[in-house]
Structure 1
Amino acid sequence: MPEYDPRSATEPRNAASYDWSGTSLGEPGRWPVPLRVAADLLLNTPLPGLLVWGRETVLVFNEAYAALAGVGCGRVPGGSVPSVLPPPLAGAAGALQGAWDGQPGVVADAHISFRHADGPLAHHCDLRLTPVPDGAGGIGGVHVLLAPPAPAPLLGEQEAPDAALRILVVEDNLDSQYLVCEMLKAFGHEADGVAHPDDALALLGKQRYHVLFSDVSLPGMSGVDLARRALADHPGLKVIFASGYGDSLLRHLEFPYLSLQKPYELDQLQDALAKVSQRPAQGR
């Protein structure tokens, strides 16, 4: 089975990298902001993926998906209404409807057949479906990622250091918050996003999180003070800060943390998550 090699796409991709003038979507400068953000994320993701936009089912797909789907795919990056649903959507009808209703879904252990010039190609994956808000209180589209299948845990096996994490993202820039949450979901983690520290504390009081990923500069309370309050009640929480001002506000903290300098790369975020997952929790 041919695999998409992310090293073959060394240049960053986004909606502006392509000519959309002949598609149903038109020029990216006129797109709704949620569509533009979701498309940029999809087109710059090394895993194969689709974006279904609007109830008329306009499709956008990335080059990894085009390489996998073969002759039935059409012109990269899409932007048209297909006469027949592509195989990943045809095999995920229930989860797709759930995503249109606002519920993320996973179709585990999916076996999908693509039509290639030299015959059918079987692809084994987990389909991860994420609703994309339309900015007006509804759902504008669905992001579909063809992720590597999650390995089945062995009986009695302990949680691996790189197992899925539940992450609370605190970022008052809503576009950045959405993008980070989608990246984390693409990595196989669970992510919730809030814009205000008070909302973060409320969520922390309702459910367990492994990681607090917070901007340092927040309205009403700094990310550092938020982390202090969160750790007082949840000492097992791991902390990652994101800052556009370097580490000047993070010196001499009394608790362990990692920090990322904005803007950061995907591999830096993945590396930080791997490090905190292996770090012993405070107070253990």
Structure 2
Amino acid sequence: MSFPGLSPRSTTSYDWSASDLGSPSTWPLALRLSADVLFNAPSPSLLVWGPASRVFYNEAYAALAGAGQAQVPGGDVPSLWPAPLAAARDALAQARAGEPAVALAQMLGVGEAQPYDLAFTPLRQEDGSVGGVLCTLVPVAAAPLFDLPQDAAGLRILVVEDNLDSQYLVCEMLRAFGHEADGVAHPDDALAHLARQHYDLLFSDVSLPGMSGVDLARQALQDAPALRVIFASGYGDTMLRHLDFPYLSLQKPYELDQLQDALATVEQQLRPRA
């Protein structure tokens, strides 16, 4: 099985009826978002979730691990941990305790093993507790995963989100879609980034410390009128009424396809057909 290039994947891309996980619509929001990131990640990755230690993986990992993987990429923890988790138990335990961890140069793969750096990221739920851990495998001295032609290059996006876990997930989703994404938590940091380099899109939460996302966007557009704006809000569109500049908005919690549709609209605006 090979990784399907830039084709988007989500929890709904798979038939979960063979497992006892139930419909993805019943999963915790943090798990659903984390799984969407996992399935779209170009690097081989695994996700361990919950007290039952359910293990999910993406197609890139299935290709690396070889035959014998279940059709549905998730289920109860097997009798033996998958090799990346077994090779770095201390790093996994550290991430489950809430601290990011790495394990360098682990030899993994079917046949001739190759060295991989393992990055373990704790995934927090809405109440702040650690719900699971994302394990990403990065080939040591890896070449770029995708050799994109110039006209297929993605957007350069600045994500402004003061919830660091949400910021991480959004950036990972955007990168999985082939875009470049930087994340900051404070409007002042966002303005500093915008002053230093060009961005195609400002993806901002509406409610931010010190300055609203609306005021941030208005100030950013004074210096970069071509900048496109997407707002994300959990409080409806009350603060977005009667704005004097164009924007798109997503209501939290939004679905993967809603995010993709918004990004496609921005790309169409910036790269209109001849």
Aligned to 2:64: 68
CA distance in structure 2 between the partners assigned to 1:104 and 1:190 by the alignment: 20
1:222 Cα deviation from its structure 2 partner? 5.1
Question: What are the ranges of 5 or more consecutive residues in structure 1 without an aligned counterpart?
Answer: 115-119, 152-166, 195-199, 205-209, 231-239, 251-260, 269-284
* Counterpart contact for 1:172–1:218, Cα < 8 Å: no
Would you say 1:33 and 2:29 are equivalent positions? yes
Aligned in 2, Cα 1:72/1:182: closer, same or farther, shift over 3 Å? same
2:168, 2:183 within 8 Å by CA — same for their partners in 1?
no
* Mapped contact 2:58–2:73 kept (Cα < 8 A): yes
- Give % identity: 45
State the match for 2:120 in structure 1.
129
CA distance in 1, matches of 2:15, 2:204: 38
Contact 2:160 2:205 in 1 (8 A): no
- Cα 1:243–1:148 change in 2 (3 A) is same
- CA 1:175–1:107: 2 relative to 1, 3 Å: closer
Q: Mind listing any 5+ residue stretches in structure 2 that lack a counterpart?
A: 143-156, 191-195, 221-226, 232-239, 247-259, 268-274
Tell me the secondary structure at the aligned position of residue 108 of structure 2: strand
Aligned residues between the structures:
226
For residues 17 and 120 of structure 2, the distance between their equivalents in structure 1, rounded to whole angstroms, comes to 28
1:46 maps to 2:42: yes
- The residue that corresponds to 1:243 in the other structure is 230
Q: For residues 112 and 16 of structure 1, do their structure 2 counterparts lie closer, same or farther at Cα, with a shift above 3 Å needed?
A: same
SS at match of 2:66: helix
Alignment correspondent of 2:134: 143
TM-score by length of 1: 0.60
What amino acid is aligned across from residue 170 of structure 2 in structure 1?
Answer: V
CA contact (8 A) 2:91 2:102 kept: yes
> In structure 1, what is the equivalent of residue 256 of structure 2?
none
Cα distance in 2 for partners of 1:125, 1:190 equals 23
- RMSD across aligned positions (CA): 4.7
> CA offset at residue 215 of structure 1?
3.0
The structure-2 alpha-carbon separation of the partners of 1:88 and 1:75, relative to structure 1 and needing over 3 Å to count, comes to same
In 1, the alpha carbon distance for the partners of 2:100 and 2:164 equals 19
- Using a 3 Å threshold, how does the CA distance of structure 1 residues 218 and 48 change in structure 2: closer, same or farther? same
Tell me, yes or no, if the aligned pair for 1:88 and 1:112 is still in contact at 8 Å. Answer: yes
Q: Which residue of 2 aligns with 1:169?
A: 159
Structural mapping, 1:1-284, within 5 Å:
4=2, 6-7=4-5, 10=7, 12-114=8-110, 120-150=111-141, 169-171=159-161, 177-183=167-173, 194=185, 200-201=186-187, 214-215=202-203, 218-219=206-207, 221=211, 223=213, 225-226=215-216, 242-243=229-230, 249=245, 263-264=262-263
Post-superposition offset of 1:176: 6.5
The question of whether the paired residues in 2 share the 8 Å contact of 1:20 and 1:79 is answered with: no
Q: 1:66 to 1:5 in 2, by over 3 A?
A: closer
Q: Contact 1:4–1:47 at 8 Å: present in 2 too?
A: no
Instruction: Call closer, same or farther: CA 1:23–1:127 in 2, change over 3 Å.
Output: same
The 8 Å contact of residues 128 and 144 in structure 1, kept in 2 or not, is answered as: yes
Q: CA 1:47–1:4 in structure 2 vs 1: closer, same or farther (change >3 Å)?
A: farther
Q: Is this contact kept in 2: 1:110–1:126, CA < 8 A? A: yes
Please state whether the residue corresponding to 1:29 is helix, strand or coil: helix
Deviation at 1:94, TM superposition (A): 1.6
Q: Give the drift of 1:83.
A: 0.6
Any idea what the Cα deviations from partners look like across 1:88-126, whole Å, max 9, x if unmatched?
Answer: 001111211111111122222221144xxxxx3413222
